[in-house]
Each structure stands twice: as C-alpha cells, then as structure tokens.
Amino acid sequence: MAKPAPLSPLAPARFPDLPPIAGVRLATAEAGIRYKGRTDVLMALFDPGTTVAGVFTRSKCPSAPVDWCRAALKHGTARTLVVNSGNANAFTGLKGRQAVELTAEIAAKAAGCRPEEVYLASTGVIGEPLDASKFAGVLDETAGRAAPGAFEAAAQAIMTTDTFPKGATASVDLGGVPVTIAGIAKGAGMIMPDMATMLSFVFTDAPIAAPVLQALLSKGVVDSFNAVTVDSDTSTSDTLLLFATGKAAAAPITELGDPRLKPFARALDAVLLDLAQQVARDGEGARKFVTVAVTGATSKRAARRVAMSIANSPLVKTAIAGEDANWGRVVMAVGKAGERAERDRLSIFFGDIRVAVEGARDPAYDEAATSAYMKGQEILLRVDLGLGRARDRVFTCDLTKEYVAINGDYRS
C-alpha cells in the first residue's frame, strides 16, 4: 500500500452536515481486512419496508458483490448494507462467491433478516481472496452499535485512495411532506462510466416503490456518475445503491407519473451530481477540476462522446496539469472521437476566453490572460462544434505525476 496521498487541493472545506434519515442506522468497524488503525467496514440497517434501486458497473467481469446485488435487487427490499474497503473481492472465482454468500449469511443474522435483503459492496485490491470469516464476530457487534446519522464516519470507512470523505444532502417537499436525501461516495481511481468506478450509497425517507426508485436512479446517473471520468478505466465493482425507507409521513409513490416526483427527482439528481463531482475532485493526483462542455452538436449523444474523448485524452489532461491552454490537443481529441466534426466550424474556449475560432487561432487570442486562467483550480473547457443545438458536459481532473506515482506502487 502506498502511503496516503496528501489531501486533494480540490477538497471541500469540510464534510457537509448530513441529517439523519428516519429508518436508517449506521455503524462502522475495524475488521482489519487490509488496513490497520482505521475503519474498513460500514454497516447500514434499514427499517422494514425499505425499498432499493441500484446501478452497477458495465464491466463484463463484475465483482462477486456486484453479482450478488444484481440478484438481490429482484426482490426490491433491503434490510442491511455491508461495505468493506481494502479488498474488492473481484476476480476471486468460486472463493469470491463463497465469501459473498458467507458475508450475507453473517449479515442477515446480525440484522435479523433474510440473506436476499442484504446488500454488499467491496472496494480495494482486485484478485485477492476476501476472508469473509473476518466479518463473523464483527457484524453482530457492529449492528448493535448502529445509530442514526454518523454519515461522515460511514464515508470514511469506505475510502481507499480517496483523500477526503464525500457526502451530499438535499431536502425536498413531497406533496406537502418534507423528505430528506443523504448520500456518501468514494472514488478515486479507475473512474470511468459506466459506472464511474466508485461506490455510492444514497438514503431517503421518502416512500417510493422499488420500480419507481429504479427509474429515478437509472435516469439520474446519466448526467452525474456517468458523466465523470478520472482515467477512463472502469472498475469491476462500481455500485450505486439508493435506499428509501418510507418513514416520511407521505402517501406511497407507486407510479412514475406521480406529480410529487418531479421536485424529488431534481433533488436526487443534485445529490448525485454533487457526489459525482466530488469523486472527480478527488481523482488520484488531481490538482484541477475540469468541466468539459460541448455545445453546437447534432445530438446529446454526439456531444457526450466528444466531451468524453477530450476528458479522457492523456495529452489534454497533462496539458491542463501543466497549465497550458493547448487547444491543439483539444482539436486532436475532437477529431479522434469518431463523431462528425468540421475543423473550420470549431470554436474552443478556456473559461470565457475564445482561443480558437473557424479552424484557426482566434485573432484576438491573449496568451497572458489565458495563462492566468489556466493557473486556476477550476477549469472550464468548452468546444462549440458549430453543427447543431445539442450540448452536454462531463467532469474530470488533470493528469499529474502523482497519478502515476499513486498507481505505480498501489499494490506493493
């Protein structure tokens, strides 16, 4: 394990105040799975009636816990969530499946529920067998300590190479009844849709049926977690779970057409976006948070592909790390995206500064102003394709020597 990286300069000043969610109790523990002297297990307990939705990695080689959660989701209800850091239990073959089954059994006993109401996630090293027997004594004791709130400790327990815990919250009026959403997430490398490589768990006291919850989550992920890339690599373990306890005093929502859903969906989207952006802000070695916006496209899909091509280009990302407004490399990345592009209609902006227009450097280009802009921590890179009216944006970070250092000796 490399020594912990210093706090990302893009970290928020502090962890936000996340209110307790009625029906959700949390506890963390030290199971000694890999790390010493820090928590590495998060256990969440949910009151009966809690519904659940999930979105997972699109990797063709998903981890054993992802397989488990996908199967469990068919039941649509959840009573407990167990997350460990330090070992991803991915590519561990039969042993991995056995570890998942044993963990679910231990967790179900601790939570007093059936195994199919247990949700599991693991993050850390891939390919090392996870010794699930380590959970045996731990989960009983942990469940006993579970209490409302404590989101910051929960966010800390699931960190791997993250340099700060990530949380976000929103309150929303559900047809006259106030409901709350609170979520946590971890990154920080192997981050690329779909999903962004990460774990995120979001909780609400709103009473929403599982199929409706799933529709909201599947839609919400598109412009949040699936719009974030750190290094173009996709984890085998990406997991985003949304739990709804239904403890708020509102009538249950069972239809997607329910008018009360609109503000709720907006609030959920904001929480997901906030968490996803924090993942990019904590990208391994990141020193700059980069928004790549593409306008003037013929479709949102085309805009997304061009934006991702730019956001994943090592040459664009190293240039930004070097505080170099190297728009030539942006052109390169537009060109390689495979979407329609007309060189002579392209405009490129860094912040408000137009550096290129109509296929060439902007005649009014001001090197000094651009250099000053590039020294900032928040970089907006905008490309106008000049072809249509569709647009999209994605979020990433720069590519620094620290990324290579962190990943060059992660396992050693």
- The window from 24-32, 91-99, 240-248, 386-394 that contacts its own copies (CB under 8 A) reads 91-99
Helix (H, G, I), strand (E, B) or coil at 268: helix
**Binding pattern for the stretch 184-223 against its own copies, x by CB under 8 A and - elsewhere:** -----xx-x-------------------------------
Q: Which H or E run contains 142?
A: helix 135-145
**Secondary structure of the chain: what % helix, strand, coil (to 5)?**
35, 25, 40
Among this protein's residues, is 28 annotated catalytic? no
Sheet holding 51-56, edge to edge: 51-56, 239-244, 199-204, 177-186, 166-174
Helix (H, G, I), strand (E, B) or coil at 37: coil
Among 38, 95, 300, 305, binds its own copies (CB under 8 A): 95
**Binding pattern for the stretch 48-87 against its own copies, x by CB under 8 A and - elsewhere:** ---------xxxxxx-------------------------
Q: Does 15 bind its own copies (CB under 8 A)?
A: no
User: Residue 260 carries which side chain, given as an amino acid letter?
Assistant: R
The nearer residue to its own copies, 161 or 169, going by C-beta atoms, is 161
Among 116, 117, 128, 162, binds its own copies (CB under 8 A): 128
Among 329, 382, 391, 393, binds its own copies (CB under 8 A): 329
As measured in angstroms, the least distance from the Cβ of 11 to its own copies is 22
Closest CA relative to residue 109, chosen from 98, 117, 97: 117
DSSP-assigned letters across all residues of 246-261: --SSSPPB--TT-TTH
* Interacting residues with its own copies between 283 and 322 (CB under 8 A): 312-315, 318-319, 321-322
Among 341, 387, 394, 397, binds its own copies (CB under 8 A): 341
Closest CA relative to residue 173, chosen from 104, 260, 236, 51: 260
The nearer residue to its own copies, 15 or 407, going by C-beta atoms, is 407
Pairing of strands 80-87, 118-125: parallel
Helix (H, G, I), strand (E, B) or coil at 35: coil
Among 43, 356, 379, 381, binds its own copies (CB under 8 A): 356
